[in-house]
Amino acid sequence: MGAIARLEAGAAAITLGLTPRVLRALGGRQVVIDGQRLEPETAVILRLARLSGREDVTTLTVSEARERIRRSAASVAGAPLPLAAVEEHSVAGADGPLGARLYVPAEAGGPGSWPLLVFFHGGGWVVGDLDTHDALCRRLAVTSGARVLAVDYRLAPEHRFPAAADDALAAFLDVARDPDRFGADATRIAVGGDSAGGNLSAVVALEARTLGGPVPAFQLLIYPATDSVARDRPSQVFFDEGFFLTGSGMAWYRGHYFGPQEPQLAPDPRASPLLAPDLAGLAPAHIVTAGFDPLRDEGEAYAARLRDAGVAVTLRRHAGLIHGFANMLGAGRVGREAVIEMGGVLRHGLHVG
């Protein structure tokens, strides 16, 4: 871990012990946008990001961006939660085997058939891996009581759209058709992920339904990207810059994922599930959004469309948080409590215990 990452890690740990009054002082002037008040601990995180020069991914090469995300994720993840087991596996992808990591909480240890979340990490389809989301997967396993299988799908630009979507579907189907390998109950396999991973989870639910199954039992969509076409939603305008995920950053990710054919490819429901003509018959879903996130409105629009299609859906907006908060478990109480809440919803959705 480099000097800047060590500084960030130390500062993140310190914020956990600070009073709200001190956090407000460190975070600077109170920020209120669109009727929402930015959490003081989030303001401190954003100030640290600005001081360390880690706001703008668009100035980096893909390899530099991936390394930066790894370092940043490690600096704010916090201490790893202990589990009964963490196992390295492989699952089928669309063009060969993919790495996967199984998280087994004590509650779902031992022989038997247990509920399972197939998890796809975020990172704009370009960055992120099993390690960047290790802390989140551990927390979801412990709080939900379900096993979690994180899938290391192929990334762009080496593998452009629809490679990630095809991998996600292939991986889910592989698990669903042979659940015994992972000690999973075939009737209680969910899909979930954050940001681009939320996008892939929604796509898997759509594609699996179209194929006639097997289908997920539940969807956990954490600030999902659901519309790669729209550019003028209110949240995209309000939070175009200054709140971790930026408009220029999203354009950078899309450019690598779609390449020069973005105008033709982005409306495809495998890229923009919000634009799918029919959402009926999908698995129950819990959608989480962050108030200070350019993806907020498209995530909430997807919840509305699911509801209109007769799908059981719950929506939870964490008004004072930013995109990426689920990975900042060592940097603040509010974001960590939000993830604990997600685990509780997953527990209920998969009928754990």
Q: Could you say which of 195, 201, 235, 272 is catalytic?
A: 195
How far apart are the C-alpha atoms of 135 and 16, rounded to whole Å? 16
Over residues 218-274, the pLDDT tens digits come to 999 999 999 999 999 999 999 999 999 999 999 999 999 999 999 999 999 999 999
Q: Where are the beta strands (DSSP E) in 283-350?
A: 285-292, 313-322
pLDDT of res. 24: 54
User: 77-91 as b/e, with b when 16 or more CB fall inside 10 Å?
Assistant: bbeebebeebeebeb
For strand 313-322 and strand 285-292, is the pairing parallel, antiparallel, or unpaired?
parallel
pLDDT of 16 higher than 90: no
Beta partners for residue 91, in sequence order: 98
pLDDT of res. 320: 98
Over residues 27-57, the pLDDT tens digits come to 557 899 999 999 999 998 888 777 665 557 8
pLDDT of res. 179: 98
pLDDT category at 161 given cuts 50, 70, 90 is: very high
Q: What are phi and psi of 229, to 5 degrees?
A: -105, -50
pLDDT of res. 110: 82
pLDDT, the chain, mean = 93
pLDDT of 12 higher than 80: no
Over residues 61-71, the pLDDT tens digits come to 999 999 999 99
Q: Is 185 part of the annotated catalytic residue set? A: no
pLDDT of 3 higher than 50: no
pLDDT of res. 5: 46
pLDDT of 7 higher than 80: no
pLDDT of 1 higher than 50: no
Range with the poorest average pLDDT among 46-55, 280-289, 343-352: 46-55
Q: Could you say which of 152, 185, 293, 297 is catalytic?
A: 293
| Prediction pTM value | 0.93
Over residues 126-147, the pLDDT tens digits come to 999 999 999 999 999 999 999 9
pLDDT of 350 higher than 70: yes
Rg (CA), the chain: 19
pLDDT of 58 higher than 50: yes
Q: Is 323 part of the annotated catalytic residue set? A: yes
pLDDT of res. 18: 56
Over residues 75-126, the pLDDT tens digits come to 899 999 999 999 999 999 999 999 999 999 999 988 889 999 999 999 999 9
Q: Which domains are delineated in the chain?
A: 3-73 (no CATH), 81-349 (3.40.50.1820)
Residue pair 107/306 in contact by the 8 Å Cβ criterion: no
Count of residues in the chain: 353
pLDDT of res. 29: 75
Cα dist. 248→189, 239, 245, 252 in Å? Answer: 36, 11, 9, 6
Q: Is 286 part of the annotated catalytic residue set? A: no
